[in-house]
Structure 1
Amino acid sequence: MKLSFERQLIADYGRKLVHAGLTTGSGGNLSLFNADENLIAIGPSGIDYADVSAQDVVLVDRSGVVVDGRWKPSSELSFHLALYDQRPDVRAVVHTHSVYATTMACLHREIPAVHYLVAFAGKKVPVAPYATFGTAELAESVRTHISDNNALLLANHGLVAVGRDLPQAFNVAEEIELVARIYYQACSIGEPVLVADEEMDRVVEKFRTYGQQDCSKG
């Protein structure tokens, strides 16, 4: 099976989305770009994550043409393609309907630096204006507003997170859901005190090398 590794990852991380409470049923979507093959593995449209196997994952080329797979690709394929075109550093996209991030998206309220962990996305998580799901208008809204951020709220819709691989994109989605919940709860009892902009500059820089590094090199 072509790109069997990538297809299995999509199936596995689809189930992780549900288990982590980042979506329900078949909501949201995931994709993974293999630069060597110039192909994108993306989940099928409208199939519950619990029922998706590696064989169900669809392969498309950079223009969105299906090259392997028996199902229709995700209805949000167009904004996945737009993200890969806009950001050459991106190799994975995770789209969720996580409750707290989506609550902020329904308020058309960006997530500011209420907690330093927002640095998983950048100095804040901006909001892209509403457009109907699965449309070229939504793809263009995502393309226009992602900038150099690793997460973006989609107004009245949900969250999209990107990364150099699927684990990183998933981690961004998970951490930003936590920050969204903290922001929601802080706003419920008072006025949140934000992390200073210059401190966020330092944190964002530190996050560039956050996590385990291969100490055997260099």
Structure 2
Amino acid sequence: MNTLLELRNIEKKYGDDVIISKVSFTLAKGTAIAIIGHSGGGKTTLLSIMGLLQRATSGNVLVDAIDIGGLDSYQLANLRGQYLGFVFQRARLINSLTALENVMAPAWFIRRGDKIEQQAKDLLERFGLSHRLDHKPQELSLGQLRRISLARALLLKPPILLADEPTNDLDPALAKEVAECLLTARTEGAGVVIVTHDLNLANQTDQTFHLENGTLKPIIYDNAAS
């Protein structure tokens, strides 16, 4: 089946405030999608629903055709571990763990061994952090923390990658590196969703959507215009 993630008529309310309104969305294998919109418009909320981190008020979320509506918290955690990788705007690393241990942390819940450790080291070397393996988050720069978060997301090669403002506050060279790593995941069949204000990054994806007033609409570019 080509569809990795599907939202059907998703609505999210906080009291009487409608944050997400009847959003339907499909993510296919090997595609990257960008979601843009103004700050506070619900983009992170929508991404959290896609990532099974919070539940919608109504509608259906399907991961690889599995409707998550009847799943308990333990089952949702297992599904996240099997299918999802996250790159948060704030790295959300564990301060008591080293860089290497933070990258390996999700793998501890699934499998252990030297092979996983070596793969984690290889990713950190790829991102220029082989000299920071034993450093803890408070000893690292913002750019280093973001790269560790990306390595953590990529370690188990999840079918679905979700990224929240992955290039925000990074210098142009590092932003380009992070973007390339996310977009390259398409070549291995992953589906990628990126919430971003970076229009240069959005333009490199397969489709861009605009979230406004809780409604998600595709942006159609007129390539025929001269």
Of Structure 1 and Structure 2, the greater helix share is in: 1
Of Structure 1 and Structure 2, the greater strand share is in: 2
Asked if these proteins are the same fold (TM beyond 0.5), I'd say no
Which structure's relative contact order is higher, taking Cα pairs within 8 Å and 6+ residues apart?
2
TM-score interval (norm. to shorter): under 0.3
TM-score (norm 2): 0.25
